[in-house]
Structure 1
Amino acid sequence: MEYRTIAAPVSASFVEKKSEFIAQLFPVRTQEDAVEAIENVRKQHRRARHNVYAYLLREGNASRYSDDGEPQGTAGMPILDVLQKNGLTDICCVVTRYFGGVLLGANGLVRAYSHSTALAIENAQVKVMLPCYPVSIQTDYALYGKIAYHLPQEDILQLDTIFEDQVELKLLVRDTLWEPLKKELIDLTSGQVEIVSGGLQYADFSKAKK
């Protein structure tokens, strides 16, 4: 089951009727990671009227949000909604508001918090995380070209190729492709290949060749 998250923290800001909204996105794995990110933003923006947050985690399929003093339903939930509609998880968003003295009203607040979150997502590098296996393929030089040519461009990330007594290719292979590819390589080389795989993990395949 694939999931989408972000590669690194990003931020975006805009001003609405003299109030400044600063959205910060963080990749997180656990509730502790999310709480730490929220506390760091609170320390960074101690003078702000509001530090509203929402986060989504794969761990326990958890989601949390807080309006942090804004009218109920006008801040945290809109942020969470934008994250969900973008299909993101393992992510925390904190939107800081410096109040400018002009009331925005409930609808204005919903729009402002949603818009600031969307702006930050636009600035983020989204990673498509797919289940895969780390795979090591060792073979003679005579078969290396045939194997390299046979490897599909999609659903594989080539990590390294080591040229020593034999050639070793280190790959990440999509879980759905692994078993058929293993059989194909054994057939292709008449069994003259050593293939070792590790445990299932997730990796970013958004840059895999299409």
Structure 2
Amino acid sequence: MNNSLYTIKNINNHQFEINKSIFIGRSFKIHSKKEANSRIKEINEEYNDATHNCWAFIQGIKKRSEKYEDDGEPSGTAGKPILNVLKKNKLTNTLIVVTRYYGGIKLGGGGLIRAYSKSAQEVINKSEIKKIVKNSKYKIIVPYDAFDKLENYISNNNIYILKKEFEKDIYLTILIPEESTNEFLMYYKNLVRNKYQPKYIKSVYI
């Protein structure tokens, strides 16, 4: 079973028309429920003349929070379909807002569900999607004469240097993809000849 999660990397929008109603979908990457609420407030203020600003978001990795809003549309015809599209695409840390300008022709419950689902999916299709990877955060010590070799290894193995401190030796804070952690630690210990031990800090999802 594939339990991978994904998120969007960029803000996007997509607009289309159904029976004279205009639907504008927007996608946002979020890092907290507070940020999601702030984005929703911005949209409500910017498009305060819209008939509806419906939305849904999922936030978190290990423990995920989800919320949706129909904003005056019949219950279950707007926010919930948007949320279902997020789930179908295995997205988290993502907010989608769909703005509707009513065109005078009712779409019915089924039509609304299809329209809001389509709007959410289309804006996701336009967004750059990124797999969320579990990383191990470590602090390591490197002698100056070994730094070039280590830096070359790091640059070729998707390892990120978060911080460099130049003292008697070089202190690095790094992020290692979980699947590469054991291999890196073996390489590092051989490089420094077990003179130093890596210090594990925590797991980070990015």
Q: TM-score, normalised by structure 2?
A: 0.80
Q: 1:8 maps to which residue?
A: 10
Q: 1:207 maps to which residue?
A: none
Tell me which of 91, 98, 106 is aligned to 1:88.
91
Write the distance in 2 (CA, Å) between the matches of 1:63 and 1:169.
36
1:121 aligned counterpart, secondary structure: helix
Q: 1:100 maps to which residue?
A: 103
1:139 aligns with 2:143: yes
Write the distance in 1 (CA, Å) between the matches of 2:73 and 2:57.
17
Matches within 5 A, 1:149-168: 153-154=156-157, 156-157=159-160
Give the CA deviation at 1:43.
1.0
Write the distance in 2 (CA, Å) between the matches of 1:171 and 1:107.
50
Q: TM-score, normalised by structure 1?
A: 0.78
CA RMSD of aligned residues (A): 3.0
For 1:185, give the aligned amino acid. Y
Tell me which of 25, 35, 38 is aligned to 1:36.
38
For 1:183, give the aligned amino acid. M
When residues 87 and 154 of structure 1 are mapped into structure 2, their CA distance, relative to the original with a 3 A threshold, is farther
Provide Cα deviations, 1:28-64, integer angstroms capped at 9, x if missing partner.
Answer: 2332222222121111111111111111122752211
Write the distance in 1 (CA, Å) between the matches of 2:37 and 2:151.
45
Write the distance in 1 (CA, Å) between the matches of 2:184 and 2:41.
47
Q: What is the number of equivalent residue pairs in this alignment?
A: 202
Structure 2, unaligned stretches of length 5 or more?
A: none
- Comparing 10-19 and 124-133, the one that deviates more: 124-133
Contact 2:68–2:83 (CA<8 Å) still a contact in 1?
yes
For 1:102, give the aligned amino acid. I
Contact 2:142–2:192 (CA<8 Å) still a contact in 1?
no
Identity of counterpart residues, as a percentage?
A: 30
- Comparing 144-153 and 159-168, the one that deviates more: 159-168
Contact 1:137–1:170 (CA<8 Å) still a contact in 2?
no
For 2:82, give the aligned amino acid. I
